Amino acid sequence: HVQLVESGGGSVQPGGSLRLSCAVSGYTSNRGCMGWFRTAPGKEREGVAAMYYDGGNTRYADSVKGRFTISLDNAKNTLYLQMNSLKPEDTALYYCSANPSPYCSLVLRGAAYTYWGQGTQVTVS
């Protein structure tokens, strides 16, 4: 049973940086896909970034490309989202997600992911 626990959210001024962490437990596969999503008030869930569990390709939403970086520390079983040059429109509840299937597709659609964390709030103002 995969469990994901996010941390690292908070309040920051525009132009600032935050690093979100997602502690991963119960993940027995050495393949699969990991992702970050966000939900802003009054808006639909948006895929932010995704990567393969065993490294390699990454994928980013156009709205965060060049500002956000997804990474995975396998030794620490932790997924990260480094967020730089933050904007007020980045304000949202951020979730990490996982799909352990070796046949997963690196997409930014929530339906492609099986496991979800509870979220961590990021406020940029």
Distance CA 56, CA 6 (A): 23
Flag whether pLDDT at 73 surpasses 90.
Answer: yes
The DSSP bridge partners found for residue 10 are 122
Amino acid at 9: G
- Residue position matching structure tokens 């496991």: 115
- Residue 9 Cα distances to 27, 29, 57, 121, angstroms: 23, 27, 25, 5
Flag whether pLDDT at 107 surpasses 90.
Answer: yes
Residue-averaged pLDDT of the chain: 96
Among the listed ranges 56-60, 78-82, 96-100, which one has the minimum average pLDDT value?
56-60
